[in-house]
Amino acid sequence: MNSIDPVIWFFLFGLFAGAMKSELRLPSQIYDFVSMLLLLTIGLKGGIELANQPFSTLLPQMVVIVGMGFLLPLFAFPVLKHIGKFNRADSASIAAHYGSVSVGTFAVAVAYMNTRGIEFEEHMALFVVLLEIPAILVGIILARGMSKETQWATVGHEVLLGKGVMFLLGGLFIGWLSGPSGVESISPLFFDLFKGILALFLLEMGLITATQLGSLKRYGVFLVIFGIITPLVFAVLGTATGLALGLSIGGTAILATLFASASYIAVPAAMRISVPEANPTLSLTASLGITFPFNILFGIPLYHWFASNGQSFLVLQNIGQ
Amino acid sequence: MNSIDPVIWFFLFGLFAGAMKSELRLPSQIYDFVSMLLLLTIGLKGGIELANQPFSTLLPQMVVIVGMGFLLPLFAFPVLKHIGKFNRADSASIAAHYGSVSVGTFAVAVAYMNTRGIEFEEHMALFVVLLEIPAILVGIILARGMSKETQWATVGHEVLLGKGVMFLLGGLFIGWLSGPSGVESISPLFFDLFKGILALFLLEMGLITATQLGSLKRYGVFLVIFGIITPLVFAVLGTATGLALGLSIGGTAILATLFASASYIAVPAAMRISVPEANPTLSLTASLGITFPFNILFGIPLYHWFASNGQSFLVLQNIGQ
Amino acid sequence: MNSIDPVIWFFLFGLFAGAMKSELRLPSQIYDFVSMLLLLTIGLKGGIELANQPFSTLLPQMVVIVGMGFLLPLFAFPVLKHIGKFNRADSASIAAHYGSVSVGTFAVAVAYMNTRGIEFEEHMALFVVLLEIPAILVGIILARGMSKETQWATVGHEVLLGKGVMFLLGGLFIGWLSGPSGVESISPLFFDLFKGILALFLLEMGLITATQLGSLKRYGVFLVIFGIITPLVFAVLGTATGLALGLSIGGTAILATLFASASYIAVPAAMRISVPEANPTLSLTASLGITFPFNILFGIPLYHWFASNGQSFLVLQNIGQ
Amino acid sequence: MNNNNTKLLTIVTEAALESRLINDIEQLGALGYTITNARGKGSRGLRSGSWEASANIRIEVICGPDLAKQIANHLQKKYYDNYAMVTFTSDVEVLRPNKFSD
Amino acid sequence: MNNNNTKLLTIVTEAALESRLINDIEQLGALGYTITNARGKGSRGLRSGSWEASANIRIEVICGPDLAKQIANHLQKKYYDNYAMVTFTSDVEVLRPNKFSD
Amino acid sequence: MNNNNTKLLTIVTEAALESRLINDIEQLGALGYTITNARGKGSRGLRSGSWEASANIRIEVICGPDLAKQIANHLQKKYYDNYAMVTFTSDVEVLRPNKFSD
Ligand SMILES: Nc1ncnc2c1ncn2[C@@H]1O[C@H](COP(=O)(O)O)[C@@H](O)[C@H]1O
Ligand SMILES: Nc1ncnc2c1ncn2[C@@H]1O[C@H](COP(=O)(O)O)[C@@H](O)[C@H]1O
Ligand SMILES: Nc1ncnc2c1ncn2[C@@H]1O[C@H](COP(=O)(O)O)[C@@H](O)[C@H]1O
Ligand code: NA
Ligand code: NA
Ligand code: NA
């Protein structure tokens, strides 16, 4: 029993409290505070790594990651449109959610590795930032086509200046500019409290997830299947990418988790403004009601297993040659 | 002067600021945040102790404590009804407040023991959770009788799923399931900051208490006397119970404090819904306006003295035999 | 690049996010929480120093500081009225802002010294509290004259019981009464997190400053010049005062920073009530839109240079004698 | 704006009642509601909103005049004796009146 | 709903005035009020609510028409020159009109 | 209170629209607005306000009847299809009606 991280229990506690319709509630301002700290911390971690390593070393990896950020929603879209029979806007919006990443899921994966003493490349936090945005742009194009009417300046504004992306980028630049020693003085708030803040965040996500569960039956079985199969497939892609980039087992598992995760902060906000005709309940039900709990409860250990076995496979192959 | 804990000064500061009608105010969302952290931490502490000790060792103590939780309001009720001349609903509601416990008072007692290096059984936090609920049920029965009309399912829902009880129980289960080592990663937020968070909580309680003082003269001298005598009597019962259970001096003093304390979070919320005809100002004026400051300023040192002398008395008796 | 403190980057990040009209926003309740922690911590630090040193040692310095607190607005007022051509109320209000101090600027100066390992007298925090109030009284008198109509009781109430002053004084007394060892138990929240909390505060100040910048052009070039020259002149006075009082270089630089800083918490609130005919946008544009960024970006290093050179000058003089 | 027969019913009461009131209102047939947090003072004294026990909420329901009357009467009967509560009704115009009553 | 002679007076103004306004309103004879936090824009510019200095409040007072007029006039005389403030009045129906005026 | 021709237009909608709506309203000619945070339920389901995605705002605009109509129609055309939104209008009296319409 001890093998489940306490932050996961916080999520389950929130889920239970929400499902039982308890009076337990976090004020939205506290949710804002907690998610701000989470986003800033992850941005800071990514930025510190940028400061630690020569930019040229990271650049090739960064290019590949951004490229995958553009590709992933393109894989999801036809499935949603042709098999799921969703309309164009809904398909595009859900595809954008799954192409992008979930900061909460990332944080849980990091906690998982830390608890087990599994090493991973610290610059994974940088990948979170990189994977956040491309899927949003692809989603908008998928919904509207490359029409000239699209006000790309406005879209760019919405995407880059949205709360989630701003906090991540702001943390990234501050971490980069200050470097590891500069950030030390603010580490008690941003780093020491991180797991506790994550626990509160997951408690709130549990409460919110519980309200999403109600919409589940309305949207039927396809959404449930999609919300479980997609992370599995994307995690395989992520494992392959991680191994191809030469990441460690821990790093590969985290990258697989990122691919498998679906956004519920930055992308919903951007879609609501840029693809308003998409039904937000649909994508949130899938990403928050199904994929998020699936990933943090079952996915992460599984993706860790993917990464370990993927690497053993590579090693064996190399020996065989 | 140094012997007064700084958290007490925070309470007095809030009391002063409130009495002077200063502009100082904590947003209610911050109060929610701070009290959530307090409740979760105390729950966690209780849960960790459950994980630390074989359940069978604790069970007998737990049964006694729950039993006392049912008894205490029954002692207070006739006094309120026949001497205080309160109506049935008000008597029942006030009795429930005094039968239950105050989490803030408990936290101050723990701080008191820690500052003085007085040892106590860590599972006292568990008793907080156990003492929270029985008095509420007794209060409802006292107000309504065992009438068949009472929707016990609804009452149970209200009591168990109220905010205060949920956070305590949630923390308890998380602490229990994670164990001491599991909880370590979230301890900077929940344990290291605890005294600071308690200081903010007491600042806010001071502000709120100041607003209660205005109603004091309206409700006359009986309420003041009741609000001081009851904790003294209940503290004696608590001391006896503690010694009977073989608790240490510190543990006995804390149990006496718990018995002496009156709820102002979980019980008011439950009474408002389940015994709506009871006047909430009445019970809050007594529990928050009189008993809470009495306990944290004068009661705790006194109950510590009770516990020490009680134990000396026992020791002497044993020697005499 | 590493020489800029990360908290300054948080300010610039907020400024950027505000100027770009991003969706990034802190709930006002979180701003309240963060500024409360800041004010309490600075008050606590001042109080601890009061407890550490015999009061008689500090008293002469305190008298001088309070005296300067009365003088500084008197220097600013005629400049605003006769050169700036502002009306009486506006001149008085702006003068009060500049005669008083900015807690945020003080905190950044302390961070600056800590990062560079520059020693300073710990009781500077006490001076913050002392400098907060006199300028407010002078401002009110300047605006209204010493007319008998002025309800000084009400004014005193407004000034002393305003949020900013209350938190500072409350912290001061708690720190004083508890002493350094008493405060230890609450130090994880109030002291360890301080720099992180300051970072969040500055992020919010950046966002707010950005909204003030819009009013800049409306009020023209005099305000900009006033907002830069005044801190420079006051910093020179502060340097002289610091050296005269025999403060260390670090202490002198911080005192210069205090003189140079302009209030944007306590004074605006007091002026709004006590000198309502003064335009609040005017004084906030100057103090928050110009002087605050000037001080934290350029002023503090400059005032440090003032203090070092001032002391070298004194040393040389002494040698020459 | 083609209709003058729609009502806005506003209820100011204790925050603790939120879930109960919503239940009642929906069961009586309201198709929606809007809630804001509030504080205030009335015959039951000051409710400063500084913590749960003293917080108010302000519920607005747009509906037909009959339903407004029905809800107000129901609340009066069920809650006025024991809870801080005020209700008032005003005339509003809406673009699509049928959205607010079946 | 048996009375059409009750008024709802709404005041939107700077949060800094809260305690003063409440004093004034109560002294003029109002028996209650409801306050919500707000932000907004008007002739005195944007008040974004992001910190105390720019926060608004929205005060509602249910009272008789004379008192409503009296309060509005008093506020206009005392505060309009120096503070961001807007007041407006509308007709409301209440269940027990005597609750709101002596 | 010398004028009965001023309107109070109230809009309840998704918080995500705040900056867009303000833009629209100001461009159509409104001289001010007041915003409060809200939560609620309507034809598009529960909006509990527990996080950004489910938060509502309540915008009030005091203006002349023509502008009120114009804003309501504009919002209906532009947003009703895709967003949770309700608008309603009521009559209010103000002290200085010319403050609210050019
Ligand atoms: N005259 C009034 N005008 C506006 N709001 C009121 C009035 N009376 C009461 N209220 C509000 O309704 C709540 C309950 O009122 P009561 O039941 O009279 O205590 C109060 O806390 C106020 O928020
Ligand atoms: N036309 C309007 N409609 C709605 N609210 C307004 C209007 N004008 C002003 N307000 C509100 O009243 C406050 C003070 O207005 P003012 O004194 O015009 O700056 C503003 O900050 C708004 O919240
Ligand atoms: N009948 C109603 N009465 C009061 N508020 C409503 C009503 N219907 C909807 N609302 C509010 O308007 C928002 C959007 O409504 P809708 O577009 O119907 O989902 C809801 O979230 C509620 O806050
Ligand atoms: Na993904
Ligand atoms: Na008790
Ligand atoms: Na100054």
Tell me the residue type at C88: R
Tokens of F13: 């909608």
At residue A208, does pLDDT exceed 90? Answer: yes
Per-state percent for chain A, helix, strand, coil, to nearest 5: 85, 0, 15
Measuring CA to CA, how many Å separate E56 from each of C28, E17, F33?
12, 9, 12
Which residues have any ligand 2 atom within 6 Å of their CB?
Answer: E 12, 38, 40-44, 47, 56, 84-86; F 31-34, 60-63, 100
At residue A320, does pLDDT exceed 70? Answer: no
**Chain F interface, best mutation among D1, D6, D88, by max F CB count within 10 A:** D1
At residue D66, does pLDDT exceed 90? Answer: yes
pLDDT given for residue F4 in this prediction: 56
At residue A295, does pLDDT exceed 60? Answer: yes
CA E44 – CA C308 distance, rounded (Å): 46
Mean pLDDT over residues A31-53, rounded?
93
How many angstroms is it from F93 CA to the middle of ligand 2?
Answer: 15
Given a contact cutoff of 8 angstroms between Cβ atoms, the answer to whether A308 and A249 are in contact is: yes
Q: Does the beta-carbon distance from C273 to E45 stay under 8 Å?
A: no
Q: Does the beta-carbon distance from D82 to B31 stay under 8 Å?
A: no
Q: How confident is the model at residue F2 (pLDDT cuts 50, 70, 90)?
A: very low
How many angstroms is it from D72 CA to the middle of ligand 3?
Answer: 19
At residue E2, does pLDDT exceed 60? Answer: no
Q: How confident is the model at residue B320 (pLDDT cuts 50, 70, 90)?
A: low
CA B110 – CA B76 distance, rounded (Å): 26
- Tell me the per-residue pLDDT of B267-293, one tens digit each, with 9 for 90 and over: 999 999 889 999 999 999 999 999 999
- Tell me the per-residue pLDDT of A152-166, one tens digit each, with 9 for 90 and over: 777 788 788 888 899
Chain F neighbors of D64, CB-CB under 8 A? none
pLDDT given for residue B220 in this prediction: 79
- Tell me the per-residue pLDDT of B31-70, one tens digit each, with 9 for 90 and over: 999 999 999 999 999 999 889 888 888 999 999 999 999 9
Q: Which of B23, B114, B195 sits opposite C162 (nearest CB)?
A: B23
Beta strands in F1-102 (DSSP E): 6-14, 33-42, 45-47, 56-63, 85-94
Tell me the residue type at C282: L
Q: With H, G, I as helix, E, B as strand and everything else as coil, classify residue B150.
A: coil
Mean pLDDT over residues A43-59, rounded?
89
% of chain B residues with pLDDT over 90: 75
User: How does DSSP assign B58-126, residue by residue?
Assistant: HHHHHHHHHHHHHHHHHHHHHIIIIIS---HHHHHHHHHHHHS--HHHHHHHHHHHHHTT----TTHHH
Given a contact cutoff of 8 angstroms between Cβ atoms, the answer to whether B129 and B43 are in contact is: yes
Q: D56 in ligand 1 pocket by Cβ < 6 Å?
A: yes
How many angstroms is it from B93 CA to the middle of ligand 5?
Answer: 13
- Tell me the per-residue pLDDT of A133-150, one tens digit each, with 9 for 90 and over: 999 999 999 998 876 676
Q: How confident is the model at residue D40 (pLDDT cuts 50, 70, 90)?
A: very high
- Mean pLDDT score of chain B, rounded to an integer? 92
Mean pLDDT over residues F22-34, rounded?
97
pLDDT given for residue A53 in this prediction: 85
Nearest CA in chain A to F46: A211
Tokens of C111: 């961070």
Cα Rg of chain D (Å, integer): 14
Q: Among all ligands shown, which has an atom nearest to the Cα of B75? A: 5
Q: Which residues does C contribute to its contact with A (CB < 8 Å)? A: 1-2, 4-7, 9-10, 13, 17, 20-27, 29-30, 33, 111, 114-115, 188, 192-193, 195-197, 199-200
Which residues have any ligand 3 atom within 6 Å of their CB?
Answer: D 31-34, 60-63, 100; F 12, 38, 40-44, 47, 56, 84-86
Tokens of A23: 């009076």
CA B194 – CA B202 distance, rounded (Å): 12
Q: Does the beta-carbon distance from E50 to C204 stay under 8 Å?
A: yes
Give the distance from residue F73's alpha carbon to the nearest chain E alpha carbon, in angstroms.
22
pLDDT given for residue B103 in this prediction: 94
Mean pLDDT over residues F42-47, rounded?
94
3-state secondary structure chain C: CCCCCHHHHHHHHHHHHHHCCCCCCCCHHHHHHHHHHHHHHHHHHHHHHHHHCCHHHHHHHHHHHHHHHHHHHHHHHHHHHHHCCCCHHHHHHHHHHHHCCCHHHHHHHHHHHHHCCCCCCCCHHHHHHHHHCHHHHHHHHHHHCCCCCCCHHHHHHHHHCCHHHHHHHHHHHHHHHHHHHHHHHHHHHHHHCHHHHHHHHHHHHHHHHHHHHHHHHHHHHHHHHHHHHHHHHHHHHHHHHHHHCCCCHHHHHHHHHHHHCCCCCHHHHHHHHHCCCCCHHHHHHHHHHHHHHHHHHHHHHHHHHHHHHHHHHHHHHHHHC
Q: E4 in ligand 1 pocket by Cβ < 6 Å?
A: no
Tokens of C90: 């506006």
Nearest CA in chain D to E60: D40
- Tell me the per-residue pLDDT of B102-117, one tens digit each, with 9 for 90 and over: 999 999 999 999 999 9
Chain E neighbors of F29, CB-CB under 8 A? none
Chain E neighbors of F95, CB-CB under 8 A? 72-73, 76, 87
Q: Is the full-model pTM beyond 0.90?
A: yes
pLDDT given for residue C312 in this prediction: 79
> Cα A183 vs. chain centroid, distance in angstroms?
24
Given a contact cutoff of 8 angstroms between Cβ atoms, the answer to whether E34 and E76 are in contact is: no
Q: Among all ligands shown, which has an atom nearest to the Cα of C98? A: 6
CA B98 – CA A266 distance, rounded (Å): 48
Q: Which residues does D contribute to its contact with F (CB < 8 Å)? A: 1, 6, 8, 22, 26, 31-37, 62, 90-95, 99
| Cα angle, residue A308 at apex, residues A304 and A313 outer, rounded to 5° | 145
Buried b (16+ CB within 10 A) or exposed e, B68-105: bbeebbeebbebbbeebebebbbbbbbbbbbbbbbbbb
Given a contact cutoff of 8 angstroms between Cβ atoms, the answer to whether A289 and A209 are in contact is: yes
Q: Does the beta-carbon distance from E58 to F36 stay under 8 Å?
A: yes
- Tell me the per-residue pLDDT of B122-145, one tens digit each, with 9 for 90 and over: 889 999 989 999 999 999 999 988
Q: Does the beta-carbon distance from A195 to B185 stay under 8 Å?
A: yes
Tokens of A284: 């949130």
Q: Among all ligands shown, which has an atom nearest to the Cα of A258? A: 4
| Cα angle, residue A42 at apex, residues C110 and A11 outer, rounded to 5° | 115
Given a contact cutoff of 8 angstroms between Cβ atoms, the answer to whether C115 and C5 are in contact is: yes
User: How does DSSP assign D29-88, residue by residue?
Assistant: T---EEEEEEEEEETTEEE--SSGGG-EEEEEEEE-HHHHHHHHHHHHHHHTTTS-EEEE
CA B87 – CA B92 distance, rounded (Å): 9
Q: Which of F40, F56, F88 sits opposite D94 (nearest CB)?
A: F88
Q: Which of C31, C207, C276 sits opposite E82 (nearest CB)?
A: C276
CA D1 – CA D3 distance, rounded (Å): 6
At residue D2, does pLDDT exceed 90? Answer: no
At residue B27, does pLDDT exceed 60? Answer: yes
Residues of chain C where predicted confidence (pLDDT) is lower than 70: 1-2, 147-148, 150, 320-321
Mean pLDDT over residues F62-75, rounded?
97
Within 8 A by CB and 6+ apart from A287, the residues are: A94, A97, A98, A102, A227, A262, A263, A264
How many angstroms is it from C234 CA to the middle of ligand 6?
Answer: 7
Within 8 A by CB and 6+ apart from C189, the residues are: B193, B195, B196, B197, B199, B200, C37
> Cα C236 vs. chain centroid, distance in angstroms?
16
> Could you tell which of D10, D11, D12, D80 is best to mutate to test the pocket of ligand 1, judged by most ligand atoms within 8 Å of the CB?
D12
Chain F neighbors of E90, CB-CB under 8 A? 8, 90-93
Nearest CA in chain B to D37: B28
Given a contact cutoff of 8 angstroms between Cβ atoms, the answer to whether A100 and A65 are in contact is: no
Given a contact cutoff of 8 angstroms between Cβ atoms, the answer to whether B77 and B89 are in contact is: no
How many angstroms is it from A137 CA to the middle of ligand 5?
Answer: 59
Q: Among all ligands shown, which has an atom nearest to the Cα of D99? A: 3
Q: Residue B268: which of D50, D40, D54 has the closest Cα?
A: D54
- Tell me the per-residue pLDDT of D74-88, one tens digit each, with 9 for 90 and over: 999 999 999 999 999
| Cα angle, residue F95 at apex, residues F91 and F96 outer, rounded to 5° | 100
Mean pLDDT over residues A169-191, rounded?
94
Q: Residue A133: which of A306, A268, A267, A318 has the closest Cα?
A: A267
Chain C touched by E26 (CB under 8 Å): no
CA F80 – CA F75 distance, rounded (Å): 7
CA C221 – CA C202 distance, rounded (Å): 26
pLDDT given for residue E3 in this prediction: 45
How many angstroms is it from A260 CA to the middle of ligand 4?
Answer: 5
Q: Residue D55: which of D100, D14, D11 has the closest Cα?
A: D14
Residues 35-94 of E with CB under 8 A from C: 45-46, 48-55, 81-83
Phi-psi region of E72 (alpha: psi -120 to 50; beta: other; left: phi over 0): alpha
Chain C neighbors of A191, CB-CB under 8 A? none
Tokens of E49: 């609510």
Q: Among all ligands shown, which has an atom nearest to the Cα of C262? A: 6
- Tell me the per-residue pLDDT of E67-87, one tens digit each, with 9 for 90 and over: 999 999 999 999 999 999 999
How many angstroms is it from C224 CA to the middle of ligand 1?
Answer: 48
Q: Residue B249: which of B300, B318, B294, B305 has the closest Cα?
A: B305
% of chain B residues with pLDDT over 70: 97
Chain E touched by C279 (CB under 8 Å): no
% of chain C residues with pLDDT over 70: 97
CA B67 – CA A270 distance, rounded (Å): 56
Ligand 6 (single-atom ion) residues, CB below 5 Å = C 261
> Cα A24 vs. chain centroid, distance in angstroms?
26
Cα Rg of chain A (Å, integer): 19
Q: Does the beta-carbon distance from C29 to B29 stay under 8 Å?
A: yes
How many angstroms is it from A271 CA to the middle of ligand 1?
Answer: 41
